[in-house]
Amino acid sequence: MELERSVIINRWLPQLSQKTGLPVATLKTEGLRAGDFPPAGVRIDFEDGSLVHFCWAFFVSDPARPRKVAIFTEHCGYHEFLLGSEDTIAQLEPAASA
């Protein structure tokens, strides 16, 4: 597991364990695996009209600081954001099959 990913995982261990159902010890040693990512996305809309959208991703927040979030993506890395009061974050549903 690359250094930056392991650092972010370690900062969010309790929330990741709760979200994924994986034990903290497993997250520390193995990190996240492809099967841990949902076929859904995460979208942040910023107050200035900017947005980010990640596929195959989920997010967790810090109960002590609800505006602080971490997004974990299968292919685009792990990211932390401190959201402004007007910013919104949403877990998107998987696209319906045709």
pLDDT tens-digit profile of 21-61? Answer: 999 999 999 999 999 999 999 999 999 999 999 999 999 99
pLDDT tens, position by position, 80-98: 999 999 999 999 988 654 3
The number of angstroms, rounded, from the C-alpha of 89 to the middle of its chain's C-alpha atoms is 11
**Residue 12 CB: number of other CB atoms within 10 A?**
22
> How far is CA 90 from each of CA 1, 2, 44, 51, 79, rounded to the nearest angstrom?
27, 27, 7, 11, 15
pTM score: 0.90
> How far is CA 73 from each of CA 5, 58, 85, rounded to the nearest angstrom?
11, 7, 24
| Bigger pLDDT: 93 vs 73 | 73
